[in-house]
Structure 1
Amino acid sequence: MGIGDLEEDGEDAEAGPPQPHHLPGELTVSQAEQVLRYTPYGDHKQGISGTLFCTNFKVTFITPNRPVNKVSTQRNRLVGENDIVLNNIDTVYQVSHGRRKKLFPTSGILGHVKHLEIHCKDFRVHSFSFKFTQKNEAKQVVNAIVHHAFPTRLELLFAFDYAGDTTSTEVAPCVPRYKLVEDWETEVERLEAAGYKATLCNKAFRIASSLPECLVVPRSLDNAVIGEAAPQFVEYRIPVWSYTHPGSGASLVRMADTIPEGAHRDVEEKMLSAIALSHISLKRPVVHDLSKLPVTLSDIQTSHEKLRELCMPSSRKEMLSLDANWFSRLEDTRWISVVAICLQSALRVVEDLIDKMLTVVIKEESCSDLAPVISCLVQLLVDPACRSLHGFQALVEREWVALGHHFADRCGLVTSPDTEQCPVFLLFLDCCWQLLQQFPSAFQFSEMYLAVLWDTCVPRSL
């Protein structure tokens, strides 16, 4: 960077080499100078020289002939174009003589690292060379990347270190967190759901740890009945209200499976009767059992891994080969088929909800995976408020966050062999993208917004 550039950017020429932009609570762990960054699938004969940093939040590459890592305003306000968020790293490879060696946090680097490939969950590949880097610097920065990219405990995630600025005076619509009774009552009133009530039956999470303290349940149920029925459902996840269509009076309710060996085998029937009493015409609800869909969590995970392999060829030659029959290979992943299954299931729910004016109970084992996918798609189809930016944010906060989707497990935020990973939220975003392509004028947000959400919530492969 020349003197003129420094003056233009307001930098001091004596300030030393450029440093990465830090978020509050972010610290540089290690760095290596004279690192070469190669263009993905290039010939690796020429690279851009710069400094590679590893912080407790990201890996970032800064070149001396470019502006200091400024935050991008187009895609993500937290990271720049040369940043790799640690939680977005899927695998790290040490490359030698064209062969890849996968690196693990427990293995460590003993010898000299000459070439490094970072494969990300968002299908990007970053390639670095340490040909001109001091051996100890290269080893330290690689070890830091591998160590911090694969945390073994939830408390090691950067979210626990982040110390955001709470003094901002920026005025923005407040997205309800659905922790207060008032948040749920506002939604019940908006949708004219007279047969349902907000209750603190789960206060201090005494019933279910994966449900919010405040829930919306059929008005005929009292807290004692709810507390008695909860142990008969998987993870104590009792039936909870999601939506009521003001025109038909029919509602959308989410319910977990009952435990087969439960003492009260008639508890599900009692819950369905209470839901029927909440209907304006006392109609019995129809149950959509998601276990009968021709797709499982394992199928979704396998399909996503095939999609990842298709989008991340190992060489330029392989990339050109895949491009020749891209669409047939995409079909072979079955990812598009899974998206279609979800959209078709949501449409069947809408038909019962609107055309037949029937309350629909979405039933799933724990009611926290495909249930929020279908529930959100239904509300996007029938409720224009959910297609606004603020409404969509509230929808995700309510159906995914408050009602207990297991993000840490499904997205592989923590390295553990005991959790089942599955990109359920990504599947939902892809379904939204399909709707957005068909009805672009019906949404207040664009595909760029969905892409940023995708990039911030991509699961690690097994």
Structure 2
Amino acid sequence: MDNRIKVSKVDNVTLWRTGRKVDGTLHLQLHHLIFRYYDPAQPQPHTAQDKPPAPRLREMWVAYPMISRCTYRPSFSVQHSSPIMRFQCRDFTFFALHFAKDTEAREAYDTIRCLTCKVGSVERLYAFSYKSPDPEKAISGWNLYDPRREFKRMGISAKDTDKGWRISAINHDYQYSPTYPSLLAVPSVISDMTLKYARDFRSRARIPALVYLHPINNCSITRSSQPLPGLQRKRNPQDEKLIAAIFATSRPNGEAFMPDSLQPSPSSSPSHVDSPSQSTEQLPPVSGESSFVVADTAAEDHALASATNPRGRMYGAQQKNLIVDARPRLNATVNSAIGKGSEDMAHYGAAAKAYLGIANIHVMRNSLNKVVDALKHTDMADLPPSRDQLAKSGWLEHISLILDGARIIVRAIAIEHSHVLIHCSDGWDRTSQLSALAQICLDPYYRTMEGFIVLVEKDWLSFGHQFRQRSGLLNSEKWFEIENERIGGGEGANNGPAGSGNAFENALLSAKGFFGNKRNDSRESLVEPETEMKSGYESPNARSNGTPHTPEKGNSTKLDEVSPVFHQFLDAVYQLLCQHPTRFEFNDRFLKRLLYHLYSCQYGTFLFDNEKERAEYKAHDRTQSVWDFFLARKAMFMNERYDATVDDRVRGKERIFVPDMARVRWWAEVFGRKDEELNGPALFPNTQRQRPHPEAAEAAGPVLYKVESGNPATGETKEREIHTNESSFNGEPGLVAGFAALATGHRSPSPSANKSRTHPMEVELQ
């Protein structure tokens, strides 16, 4: 038996959950806490001759990585009470265990803490010993995603460069960029030598690389990390050349072309696309709900009317390529103090840059913690959520802002015929969210179960996301505490009422401080911290070379690196599914179960931070893919309302749709609550970004955009103003209309001083 297990079985334990209690036996196995009890069956009518229904044996299984907080209170911390442990889980399950004896309770606590926190290596997680049933073994989920096959679906292959792209194997051994995939799609005119020198200008060598190519207009979504200009505003010609080539991979008629600076010979294709008369490409309609499609200005009315009528406007008449920096502008600016920053648009041609203002991982972590605080007291009593705490969490505002960023990307590609480059800091958190959500809106394939699996494999697993750190899979002993030690003094002590003589009452009265109110800094860090790449990760090669191994220190979770990034992505997908219930092949149960397996460590899919780690640990051979679980039970996760028809001439069946931020709602099921508890009318005024009625927006006046534009020839920058009516987008400011206004040189009349407002999203245009 593992030496971490001090006790494997404890009898006479009482389980509290949602205010109900049941007596049973606690079993502590190597990977799971199991509570086994007899649940009295529902009374059934029976005659005197019939036997009453027998109680049914039930089990509650909790994988140790699911535990995000455990507090142990010995009996002597509160007079006349029994020892108790309270648990808070990552799937928003809350329960408590009452013990008969302090010695048994302490041994159980020490065992659970050791099995949860002293894992030491990712290889000791459940996935490496899990034996899947035969239906799962037949799936081969690791083989569902093949980058070459996905590139070919987009029209890119190793031999065919007609679309302006090629597949590079410069990272085949992960030496070029350890956190990037082995295969990268880059412009055909860019050599590997250029890539070699461009890598030094991007954080962690995460250069701009293709993730999506639109099948109709050949406009692309590329992703990268932040550049490294620093305070001296350094430049990198190879980086500028790479981005110029990306923006030059399409023409309005879809043909590949290169700018003059990249032409291999004078006889090559033309180098400009500014003339509207050259545009003959039509994009499919962009669908949305009625709150989105109502237009109050001629420009937006024309764009959206054309979107619902393929014979109307010719798309691609104006191309204004877009660089999306997901961070607040202040964060990007302050990062320049440590040698990082954002692009100087004077050197990146005819492109615009938008700062989306999406908060970093620390703000998101604190936001979710506030949601948990509103829900966590549901173990000892069936209490309603604290609506005030839910409103103050800001969770829905964050989800709405992420969806708004995806909307901007979708419209830039679908209406403005633009290429979009996305990055945040290291390009593996907010970048993955925005890239994946935009592709779901643009491509019906990613709304099928197979396509969604491919999307997660590509944008999250292949391009690297720190799943182990962000999810805290190796846990931390700081999430475990003993109540009497905390009460004894020090920061956060809460003596609570003692001597009431009722353990249940005492638990409720001291519930506010029971889980330990650890102080969390809610301020957003302006300088993004450097992530320690080897934190929580020990290469098998390092161990074979005799590298010392210290499980508790070297391979435990860094608390300031934990954040619900992938959870937010799934929440945003849930919003899209609710808004377009017939457009997704899978249901919300699929998303909820996927979030559970993010933390369960039953499968190897989410245990590693990048392709390189999965290859070093031979995850494909030693663990099962999480997709085996879903595809072996596919019928459970299918959407009965799904309509696979794609017809750009029929409203509601178009290829493309956009998110509606006014309809963002709480994902009640994932938080373990009823829909009416979280989505009641009283919550929405404080938690949703409501769009004003068009008449109210008209009365409020136009929106003032302050932008910076630069001259590539001189390097000079100057501030300009763009005015556009806010009601033109039914309350959502018209960013795309602003791009069109710049491209045509049109400026609306200046608003009156008492009506002008500056939109929080900052836009930098060249």
Distance 2:383 2:136 in 1: 48
1:83 lines up with 2:67 in the alignment: no
Q: Which has the larger radius of gyration?
A: 2
Deviation at 1:374, TM superposition (A): 0.7
Deviation at 1:165, TM superposition (A): 4.6
Distance 1:164 1:250 in 2: 44
Distance 1:427 1:367 in 2: 16
What aligned pairs does 1:311-460 form with structure 2 within 5 A after superposition? Answer: 311-313=375-377, 319-320=383-384, 322=385, 326=387, 328-414=388-474, 415=476, 416-417=557-558, 419-457=560-598
Deviation at 1:55, TM superposition (A): 2.1
1:32 lines up with 2:68 in the alignment: no
1:296 lines up with 2:356 in the alignment: no
Distance 1:98 1:432 in 2: 48
Structure 2, unaligned runs of 5 or more = 40-54, 157-162, 258-318, 328-354, 477-556, 601-766
Letter aligned with residue 304 of structure 1: L
Residues 214 and 67 of structure 1: CA distance in aligned 2, closer, same or farther (over 3 Å): farther
Decide whether the 8 Å contact of 2:211 with 2:459 is kept in 1. yes
Task: Tell me which of 237, 241, 253 is aligned to 1:266.
Answer: 237
Distance 1:156 1:170 in 2: 20
Partner SS state of residue 17, structure 2:
coil
1:53 lines up with 2:53 in the alignment: no
Decide whether the 8 Å contact of 1:212 with 1:403 is kept in 2. yes
Deviation at 1:310, TM superposition (A): 0.9
Partner SS state of residue 33, structure 2:
strand
Partner SS state of residue 224, structure 2:
strand
Equivalent position of 1:158 in the other structure: 125
What TM-score, normalized to structure 1?
0.78
Letter aligned with residue 582 of structure 2: S
1:192 lines up with 2:155 in the alignment: yes
Partner SS state of residue 577, structure 2:
helix
Structure 1, unaligned runs of 5 or more = 1-24, 70-80, 101-111
Residues 436 and 28 of structure 1: CA distance in aligned 2, closer, same or farther (over 3 Å): farther
Residues 382 and 168 of structure 1: CA distance in aligned 2, closer, same or farther (over 3 Å): same
Residues 28 and 256 of structure 1: CA distance in aligned 2, closer, same or farther (over 3 Å): same
Letter aligned with residue 12 of structure 2: V
Distance 1:276 1:417 in 2: 39
Moved more, 404-413 or 222-231: 222-231
Partner SS state of residue 48, structure 1:
strand
Deviation at 1:456, TM superposition (A): 2.7
Partner SS state of residue 465, structure 2:
coil
Task: Tell me which of 101, 114, 119 is aligned to 1:147.
Answer: 114
What aligned pairs does 1:124-273 form with structure 2 within 5 A after superposition? Answer: 124-131=93-100, 136-151=103-118, 153-155=120-122, 157-159=124-126, 161-165=128-132, 171-172=138-139, 174=141, 176=143, 183-193=146-156, 194-261=163-230, 264-273=235-244
Distance 1:318 1:99 in 2: 25
Residues 319 and 50 of structure 1: CA distance in aligned 2, closer, same or farther (over 3 Å): closer
Residues 59 and 164 of structure 1: CA distance in aligned 2, closer, same or farther (over 3 Å): same
Decide whether the 8 Å contact of 1:94 with 1:116 is kept in 2. yes
Q: Residue deviations 1:326-371, cap 9 Å, x none?
A: 2x54222110000100111101100011111111111221110011
Residues 267 and 30 of structure 1: CA distance in aligned 2, closer, same or farther (over 3 Å): farther
1:275 lines up with 2:246 in the alignment: yes
Distance 1:67 1:401 in 2: 42
Distance 2:382 2:141 in 1: 47
Letter aligned with residue 344 of structure 1: D
Partner SS state of residue 378, structure 1:
helix
Deviation at 1:397, TM superposition (A): 1.0
Partner SS state of residue 295, structure 1:
coil
Deviation at 1:205, TM superposition (A): 0.6
Moved more, 114-123 or 300-309: 114-123
Deviation at 1:115, TM superposition (A): 1.4
Partner SS state of residue 241, structure 1:
strand
Decide whether the 8 Å contact of 1:237 with 1:256 is kept in 2. yes
Partner SS state of residue 430, structure 1:
helix
Letter aligned with residue 376 of structure 1: A
Partner SS state of residue 592, structure 2:
helix
Letter aligned with residue 226 of structure 2: D
Aligned residue pairs total 399
Over the aligned positions, Cα root-mean-square deviation in angstroms equals 3.1
1:42 lines up with 2:27 in the alignment: no
Partner SS state of residue 445, structure 1:
coil
Higher relative contact order structure (alpha carbons within 8 Å, sequence separation ≥ 6): 2
Residues 336 and 389 of structure 1: CA distance in aligned 2, closer, same or farther (over 3 Å): same
Letter aligned with residue 158 of structure 1: L
